[in-house]
Amino acid sequence: MKKLRVGILFGGKSGEHEVSLRSAASVAAALDKSKYDVIPIGITKEGHWLSSGESRKLLPQAGEAVSQETALELSCDPTAAQPVDVVFPVLHGTYGEDGTVQGLLEMAGLPYVGSGVLGSAAGMDKDVMKRLFRDNGLPVVEWILVLRSELQANSAAVREKSERAFGYPVFVKPANLGSSVGVSKARDAEELDAALELAASFDRRIIVERSVDARELECAVLGNDNPIASVPGEVVPAGDFYDYEAKYIRDDARLLIPAPLAPEESAKVRDLACRAFLAIDGAGMARVDCFLERSSGKIWLNEINTIPGFTSISMYPKLWEATGIPYSELLDRLIALALERHEEKRRTQYVR
């Protein structure tokens, strides 16, 4: 059979640019070269799209896993020069995981791995995501939304609003970012002011949520309309929480796969993960993060990541490997799901 041409889309204008490069290199190296021609498609931090030859220079650790061609046509037109059959986005964060590039790929008529515009945008915005979870009867930790303009106009009022709602400690997060970039734990007013300022530098929408003393659980989801969930894993951070440095620099957190849970707790996490995926209209893949509150034993949904990390130490592929799906097979399934979703969309009528 003719090999599929897989465009790996990576980099981008995001605080998670470096993480994306690592994920892209891992995916490129793991794709079965007897089935796929791998075409790298890099985007610089300034938002410039690169040729495959220039993109290859950003992934030196991928070696010969990627094509050395120097031109690329983002088109599904079989008459176009070097058409790509399917795109595998590993663009984490802003302009990659938020529905923007998914809209571009939709307009180009290209199949792509992962959630569509709606699922991507909803999964990226923590405020909208939590509202969808709540409206679907899923348990979420209490939160408030703060706008950057609101903070600039009266930071004292924002601080007082948070203190009335939750006291201390609280977590402060940019609404539209991942990998714990810009996330802080605030234990007093001074730390809260600093945390709000940091989060506001990354996004105009900020959430403040009640701190929960909990175990951090993660579960991988795979599928389209009938998703399946992996065994849950547990992250045991060395510090207060699983921050960016712990995820990608220090590598000092312990990852327990599978998580030491009672059978009913494991089943609950897997059920919540699939329900969260469907609540945002997810597709292809997602990693769902949960809290197991120590005092009550209650399981809370934290968030969903529609383009989870694919680095060598990332939880998403590790969870599926522990469930019985090795990395290369996982990539095969994701590409098949992308093509399946694309064919399903082609059934939609756009004219009267």
Q: Is residue 43 part of a domain?
A: yes
Q: Is the pLDDT of residue 82 over 70?
A: no
Task: Say yes or no: 127 and 191 in one domain.
Answer: no
| Residues 275 and 130 placed together within one structural domain of the fold | yes
Q: Which of 312, 332, 330, 318 is nearest to 34 (CA)?
A: 332
Looking at the fold, whether 150 and 80 belong to one and the same domain comes out as no
Looking at the fold, whether 78 and 226 belong to one and the same domain comes out as: no
Catalytic annotation, pick one of 5, 12, 14, 16:
16
- Report yes or no on 117 lying in a domain: no
Does residue 176 share a domain with residue 134?
Answer: no
For residues 135 and 272, state if they share a domain. yes
Catalytic residue among 205, 275, 287, 341: 287
Residues 202 and 217 in one domain: no
Catalytic residue among 289, 302, 314, 316: 289
**Is the predicted pLDDT of residue 212 greater than 60, yes or no?**
yes
Judge whether 329 lies within some domain: yes
Annotation marks residue 216 as catalytic = no
Annotated catalytic residue within 96, 309, 316, 341: 309
pLDDT confidence of residue 243: 57
pLDDT at 317 over 70: yes
Of residues 303, 314, 316, 341, which has the active-site annotation? 303
In a domain, 131, yes or no: yes
Catalytic residue list contains 135: no
pTM of structure: 0.88
- Chain-centre distance for alpha carbon 318: 15
CA 149/CA 144 separation, integer angstroms:
15
* From 67, 120, 179, 314, the catalytic residue: 179
Rounded to whole angstroms, the Cα distance separating 70 from 294 reads: 54
Q: Tell me if residue 309 is catalytic.
A: yes
Q: Determine whether 69 is an active site residue.
A: no
How many domains is the chain partitioned into structurally? 3
Residue 16 among the catalytic residues:
yes
Give yes or no: residues 134 and 91 share one domain: no
Residue 258 pLDDT greater than 80, yes or no: yes
When mean pLDDT is compared across 90-94, 150-154, 249-253, the lowest value belongs to 249-253
Domain that holds residue 226: 123-139+212-341
Catalytic status, residue 287: yes
Asked about 302 being catalytic, the answer comes back as no
Same domain, 128 and 264: yes
Q: How far apart are the first and last CA of the chain?
A: 38
> Can 53 be counted among the known catalytic residues?
no
Q: Check pLDDT > 60 for residue 249.
A: no
Query: Side chain identity at 129, as an amino acid letter?
Result: M
Annotated catalytic residue within 116, 305, 314, 341: 305
- What is the overall mean pLDDT for the chain? 89
Question: Under a CB-based contact definition with an 8 Å cutoff, are residues 178 and 315 in contact?
Answer: no
In a domain, 350, yes or no: no
Residues 184 and 219 in one domain: no
Reported as a single tens digit per residue, the pLDDT across 28-53 is 999 999 999 999 999 999 999 998 88
Query: Confidence band (pLDDT; 50, 70, 90) for 79?
Result: very low
